[in-house]
Amino acid sequence: MKILWVDDEIDMLRPHILFLESKGYEVDTATNGQDALERCGATDYHAVFLDEHMPGMSGLQTLSLIKELHPALPVVMITKSEEENIMNMAIGQKITDYLIKPVNPNQIWLSLKKILQRNDLVNEAAQTAYRQDFGKIGMQIDDSLTANDWMELYRRLVYWELELEATHSPMSEMLAGQKQEANAAFAKFIKRNYTDWLAAEQPGRPMLSPDLFKHTIFPLLDRGEQIFLVVLDNFRYDQWRMLATELSELFNIDEQLYFSILPTTTQYARNALFSGLMPDRIATLFPDLWVDEEAEEHKNLNEALLIRALFERYRRNDTFAYHKINDTAAADRLLTQLPNAGQALTVAVFNFIDILSHSRTENKTLRELIATEAAYRSITLSWFRHSPLRQLLDRLAQRGKRVIITTDHGSIRVNRAVKVQSNSRDINSNLRYKVSRNISYNPKQVFEITHPADAHLPAPNVSSRYVFATGSDFFAYPNDYNRYVSHYTDTFQHGGVSMEEMIIPLISLTSK
């Protein structure tokens, strides 16, 4: 690797240069800024050591001109001065490291290792740590007996997914296999426990969609706090972890997980969240607010009315406002109204991520752009950085508001078709769950609920049953099977049973 060292007293640094050469580095030298620029123009260096105090062109001036030539070239500033303004200017011009004279050879060498070998060292450390954790995760998959066990296991899998992704590790494939194994075990766990959770609020039952207001929002309102509830439709825990790094400077973050109900769709999970009721109770108590499966209208038109009904049922007089953000105009209205917001609770639903995942299914360009899980997370982060949501959170942080961020459900990338068949016209179109009175399938491949009342689900007909796809499966009909499977394989879907869909984030933010 080629290094350029720029110092007007370079002859005094000969021992340092010999030391670096003994470590395999090739070192060129210059005694002034002009010579340094000429050498940078003629040679591709891996790093530059630059003295700040030189006759003629200063180190800071030279740094600025080097960065114009090679913006990504690592530059280490070396100076006798510890003046803060010099450090600030150097850091502002994007130096890679800052050393104070006198420097010893080991300092120089360690600085180079940090700059040039960091990725390799981080990658190696991540792979070693994951190898050591691989067996423990396998045991945890086998031993996860409670909802809390599964939430902790999912956290761990997402942690390694992001760590290995950041280092482009080939071990990501091994992790993907382990995640698939975990989802298979998770489906068995849900089959054993889901209807029991709904029978009563028994010990060990996790918090579910209808519990959010009762257990999280109402206690905060009772303490007199003003709450801003942000619901990001179709938002996964791994996507939250990407956003968390952006928000850590603005907020103190309290991160929890809880469970979406089934089906993991807006009609069921989000309406349950806003009403505090399971779907069959919504359909019974508020038939005008429940939209049946076969209805062509949108399934989320009555959310503000469901919140109002929830407040009335608990005899609460808290004021609230509801906003649905589907486009820039709606976001601008929310930001404009924010200075005058005096409600105890403000609810804002952002639909971008859901729109993105559904659009990707039909749009070839988007499918190429979001070809992997990593790309899906990356595009979510890019949207957030330039979104009205980021502007909103910045303003709420300045105002010291409490912010709760959550979702109705997540999604999973599907890749295996499971055949279902029905002669009934009333069967729904969702790829991850089906409800019908006449449907055939392999019971070993699905989670079936033959009595909807057991899962507090409405029954469109007396003999209706629900079946849910598990893991990364999706349902396909025998008719035109190959074309259908080709079209939907490798798309993001929701409605079924997987960690990604059911284990969802609940984030409390308080401004720093």
Whether 431 and 414 have beta carbons less than 8 Å apart is answered as yes
Containing 89, the helix (H) or strand (E) segment is helix 84-92
Q: What one-letter code names the amino acid at 4? A: L
According to the model, what pLDDT value does residue 250 have?
93
The residues spanned by each domain of the chain are 2-116, 119-191, 207-412+500-511, 413-493
Whether 256 and 152 have beta carbons less than 8 Å apart is answered as no
According to the model, what pLDDT value does residue 82 have?
64
Q: Which is the CATH superfamily of the domain at 2-116?
A: Response regulator (3.40.50.2300)
CA distance 4 to 160: 37
Whether 354 and 269 have beta carbons less than 8 Å apart is answered as no
CA distance 28 to 26: 7
CA distance 330 to 337: 11
Tell me which residue of 212, 251, 256, 232 sits closest to 507, measured CA to CA.
Answer: 256
**DSSP notation for 43-61:** S--SEEEEES--SSS-HHH
CA distance 452 to 346: 34
Q: Can you give the pLDDT of all 512 residues of the chain as single tens digits?
A: 899 999 998 988 999 999 999 999 999 999 999 999 999 999 999 999 999 888 888 888 898 899 888 988 999 988 876 665 666 666 666 788 888 888 899 989 988 888 887 777 777 888 889 999 999 999 999 998 899 999 999 999 999 999 998 777 788 899 999 999 999 999 999 999 999 999 876 777 899 999 999 999 999 999 999 999 999 999 999 999 999 999 999 999 999 999 999 999 999 999 999 999 999 999 999 998 887 665 554 656 789 999 999 999 999 999 999 999 988 888 888 888 886 678 999 999 999 999 999 999 999 999 999 999 999 999 999 999 999 999 999 999 998 889 999 999 999 999 999 999 988 777 888 999 999 988 999 999 999 999 999 999 999 888 899 999 999 999 999 888 999 999 999 999 999 999 999 999 999 999 99
According to the model, what pLDDT value does residue 201 have?
66
CA distance 344 to 209: 21
**Other C-beta atoms within 10 Å of 486: how many?**
10
Q: How far is CA 255 from CA 127, 209, 399, 442, in A?
A: 26, 16, 21, 39
CA distance 382 to 349: 19
DSSP E strand stretches across 314-354: 320-325, 345-350
According to the model, what pLDDT value does residue 397 have?
94
Peptide bond into 102 cis (omega under 30): yes
Length of the chain: 512
Task: Show Cβ contacts of residue 347 under 8 Å, excluding neighbours closer than 6 positions.
Answer: 229, 231, 274, 303, 304, 307, 320, 321, 322, 323
According to the model, what pLDDT value does residue 80 have?
78
**Other C-beta atoms within 10 Å of 393: how many?**
24
Q: What one-letter code names the amino acid at 502? A: M
What is the 8-class DSSP label of residue 460?
A: S
- Tell me how far the alpha carbon of residue 79 is from its chain's centroid: 42
Radius of gyration of the chain (CA): 28
3 state SS of 349: strand
**DSSP notation for 306-332:** HHHHHHHHTT----EEEEEE-SHHHHH
Whether 507 and 404 have beta carbons less than 8 Å apart is answered as yes
Q: What one-letter code names the amino acid at 423? A: N
